[in-house]
């Protein structure tokens, strides 16, 4: 359980340092898979000398506890920076813990060999299921209990206490280990001599590795697909990983007599059809969106991982090659994870790892069971083939419909970065062509060609237009660039400084939209994490803003560290005495207004909100804004424009978020 509470805890510690980046979790997961492989390699190479040597290694991580990731968030960004922090601060504790399951199974395997000689029945493979069951329980406990109730500092110290307990239990387990039997078969009575099983052939090793790699890659592809929209937070990470681990638990649980695995036969037979449904949803279009699409992808993951892990268990070797088996599985998982975390962002502009992982798994399964498949194709029921053919036809039709839609909506550019995947589209309409910046299913901005009027969430008739016309700010700060639509409101004499963490967004805004270049006011774009940059401004005593716009939440992947009490206090410190902090909090998955109400109340700030959800002007999108000020009279102009109190919004007992404690589950829209 310690192992798989450390993973989401580490991700939670990393997020504020990397601006809630889209690839933080997949990079972390890839690192953990690599550390798992190293742990298994350690167990494999030292299998005959484990014991007191392993117990000495178990003590070393105590020097690095409580767990942390170091730094202050002002360092480098990207994959290398994440891996460096993890290697320095988390690598040793995780690797030592990861080796435990294999070391314990090696001890059991030693006893098993002797028990077989005595005519007893035992198997160490069930321990792998038990280990993954503990990991599954830890993940669910973290998402549903630990994160909602405990702050990060408390989590770190509780985890440290758990590790100390683990050290004690490891010592007790070693002392309770059965005494070694004589290593030479000559010491055993003649009837009990055991011949060593032959080493697995290279083809079997490749098969295990390919199954593990393709399944691991698909796990990360599904996680990316959901996190791109629903947010890069522990809750989103935990659910796909929990399904993946649950499939291991079921597959490696001791099967009933005459069964290959406890994975239901229905799952093993129907996974290709379910995967085809996943490809249908992956192909795009209006297929329900939101939670429904996420549920479909999670169901596909359950079938795919269940079938793959059942196949791995079916082809397991004799226990004398236990560590080799787990070593190959771990290596395959690492390779699959690295393909998604490292290779995919460098090569692909979209989430092409999703269909590619499914294709890789299909090819592997077909190659591994080709003889049986040929027999089934010639003698088996034809209904399943008809279902598969029908699904393929539907997918082709779907892709064709998408291509037809492309005739009307042209994709100008697709870019992928450490922070997200972006698509710029051009759609011809009777009122003139419009350009959109889209990430996942979320539009980040829109502009009508030849017209610099702000559209979408930034429409002149919307909340932002209200605030700018009510306060007439001269110096404006804006956290989050989008397409730069907010700059379209500027008039001569006004200035706006944008803070944007992703350089790719800046490039797209300048290349495909004209708001930044055509504005009448002065515009500056600062690349970097907004909170870090604002703290630097504060330290340098730079001039204050009249209005500070926080616009980092239009995408559904929320950077939660920008909504904490400490962050709101910083924002207010960066505006003049009668200044206003305006937060754009539109989101399909999270209602952030109760969190802001609680934080504003605790800080003594006045607050108002406006939610546009009814009949809207052309090219105006539904939006939610919250305004904060030091005193209520400052917000009087907004009251005159119809803005309302936050008191009646959401749960009355909502708690504010802090840097130490962020409960995203409380803000979830069910």
* Residue range 299-356, pLDDT digits in tens: 999 999 999 999 998 888 887 787 788 889 999 999 999 999 999 888 888 889 999 9
Residues of the chain with pLDDT below 70 are 22, 47-52, 71-77, 101-127, 176-196, 230-232, 254-261, 284-290, 370-408, 553-557, 670
CB 20 within 8 A of CB 558: yes
The CATH class for the domain spanning 1-112+123-175+201-395 reads mainly alpha
Give 3-state DSSP helix, strand, coil % of the chain, rounded to 5.
60, 10, 30
Please measure the distance between the N-terminal and C-terminal CA atoms of the chain and give it in whole angstroms: 28
The tokens of 198 are what? 């032959």
Q: Which CATH architecture has domain 457-667?
A: 3-Layer(aba) Sandwich (3.40)
Question: How many beta carbons lie within 10 A of that of residue 118, not counting itself?
Answer: 9
What was the pLDDT predicted at 33? 93
Considering all CA atoms of the chain, what is the largest pairwise distance in Å, rounded to the nearest integer? Answer: 99
What was the pLDDT predicted at 634? 97
Three-state SS for 599-645 is: HHHHHCCEEEEEEECCCCCCCECCEEEEEEECCHHHHHHHHHCCCEC
- Sheet containing 575-584: give its strands across: 522-527, 495-500, 475-479, 545-550, 575-584, 623-629, 606-612
Distance CA 485, CA 622 (A): 16
What was the pLDDT predicted at 326? 86
Residue extent(s) of CATH 1.20.1250 domains in the chain: 1-112+123-175+201-395
Residue extent(s) of CATH 3.40.50.150 domains in the chain: 457-667
List residues bridging with 447 in a β-sheet. 435
Distance CA 290, CA 412 (A): 25
Instruction: Label the pairing between strands 575-584 and 545-550.
Output: parallel
C-alpha torsion angle, residues 53, 54, 56, 62 (rounded to 10) = 160
The tokens of 282 are what? 């992956």
Positive/negative CA dihedral, 650, 653, 656, 657:
negative
Q: Residue 86 half-sphere exposure, CB side, CA atoms within 13 Å?
A: 29
What was the pLDDT predicted at 189? 46
Positive/negative CA dihedral, 399, 281, 279, 416:
positive
């Amino acid at each position: 359980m310690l192992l798989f509470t450390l993973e989401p805890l580490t991700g939670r510690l990393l997020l504020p340092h990397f601006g809630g980046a889209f690839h933080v979790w997949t990079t972390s997961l890839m690192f953990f898979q690599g550390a798992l492989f190293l742990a298994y390699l350690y167990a494999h190479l030292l299998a005959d000398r484990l014991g007191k040597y392993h117990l000495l290694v178990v003590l070393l991580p105590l020097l690095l506890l409580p767990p942390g990731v170091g730094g202050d968030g002002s360092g480098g960004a990207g994959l290398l920076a994440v891996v460096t922090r993890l290697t320095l601060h988390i690598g040793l504790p995780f690797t030592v813990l990861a080796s435990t399951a294999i070391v314990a199974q090696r001890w059991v395997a030693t006893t098993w060999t002797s028990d077989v000689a005595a005519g007893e029945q035992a198997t160490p493979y069930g321990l792998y299921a038990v280990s993954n069951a503990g990991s599954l329980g830890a993940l669910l406990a973290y998402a549903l209990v630990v994160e909602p109730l405990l702050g990060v500092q408390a989590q770190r110290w509780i985890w440290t206490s758990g590790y100390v307990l683990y050290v004690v239990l490891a010592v007790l387990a070693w002392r309770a280990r059965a005494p070694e039997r004589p290593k030479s078969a000559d010491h055993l009575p003649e009837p009990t001599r055991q011949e060593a099983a032959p080493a697995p052939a290279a083809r079997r090793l490749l098969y295990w590795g390919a199954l593990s790699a393709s399944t691991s890659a698909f796990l990360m592809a599904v996680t990316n697909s959901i996190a791109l929209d629903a947010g890069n937070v522990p809750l989103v990470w935990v659910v796909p990983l929990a399904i993946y681990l649950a499939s291991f638990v079921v597959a490696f649980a001791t099967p009933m007599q005459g069964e290959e695995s406890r994975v239901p036969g229905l799952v093993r037979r129907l996974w290709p059809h379910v995967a085809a449904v996943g490809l249908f949803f992956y192909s795009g279009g209006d297929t329900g969106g939101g939670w429904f699409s996420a549920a479909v992808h999670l169901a596909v993951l359950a079938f795919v991982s269940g079938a793959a892990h059942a196949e791995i268990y079916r082809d397991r070797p004799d226990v004398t090659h236990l560590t080799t088996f787990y070593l190959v599985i771990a290596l395959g998982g690492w390779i699959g994870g690295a393909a998604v975390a490292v290779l995919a962002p460098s090569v692909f502009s979209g989430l092409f790892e999703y269909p590619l992982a499914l294709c890789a798994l299909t090819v592997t399964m077909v190659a591994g069971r080709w003889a049986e498949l040929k027999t089934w194709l010639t003698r088996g029921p034809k209904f399943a083939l008809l279902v598969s053919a029908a699904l393929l036809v539907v997918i082709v039709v779907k892709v064709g419909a998408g291509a037809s839609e492309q005739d009307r909506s042209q994709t100008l550019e697709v870019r992928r970065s450490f922070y997200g995947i972006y698509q710029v589209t051009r759609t011809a309409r009777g009122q003139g062509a419009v350009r959109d910046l889209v990430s996942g299913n979320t539009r980040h901005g829109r502009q009508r060609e030849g017209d610099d009027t702000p559209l979408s969430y930034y429409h002149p008739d919307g909340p932002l237009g209200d605030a700018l016309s009510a306060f007439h700010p001269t110096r404006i700060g804006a956290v989050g660039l989008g397409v730069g639509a907010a700059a379209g409101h500027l008039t001569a004499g006004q200035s706006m400084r944008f803070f944007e963490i992703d350089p790719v967004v800046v490039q797209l805004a300048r290349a495909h939209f004209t708001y930044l270049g055509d504005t009448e006011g002065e515009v500056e774009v600062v690349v970097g994490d907004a909170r870090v940059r604002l703290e630097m401004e504060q330290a340098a005593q730079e001039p204050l803003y009249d209005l500070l716009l926080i616009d980092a939440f239009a995408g559904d992947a929320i950077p939660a560290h920008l909504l904490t009490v400490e962050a709101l206090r910083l924002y207010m410190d960066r505006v003049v005495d009668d200044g206003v902090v305006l937060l754009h909090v539109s989101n399909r998955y999270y209602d952030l207004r109760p969190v802001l109400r609680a934080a504003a109340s605790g800080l003594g700030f006045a607050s108002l909100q406006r939610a546009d959800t009814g009949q809207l002007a052309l090219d105006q999108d539904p939006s939610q804004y919250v305004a904060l000020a030091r005193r209520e009279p400052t917000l009087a102009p907004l009251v005159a424009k119809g803005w309302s109190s936050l008191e009646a919004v959401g749960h009355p007992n909502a708690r504010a978020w802090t840097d130490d404690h962020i409960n995203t589950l409380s803000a979830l829209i069910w």
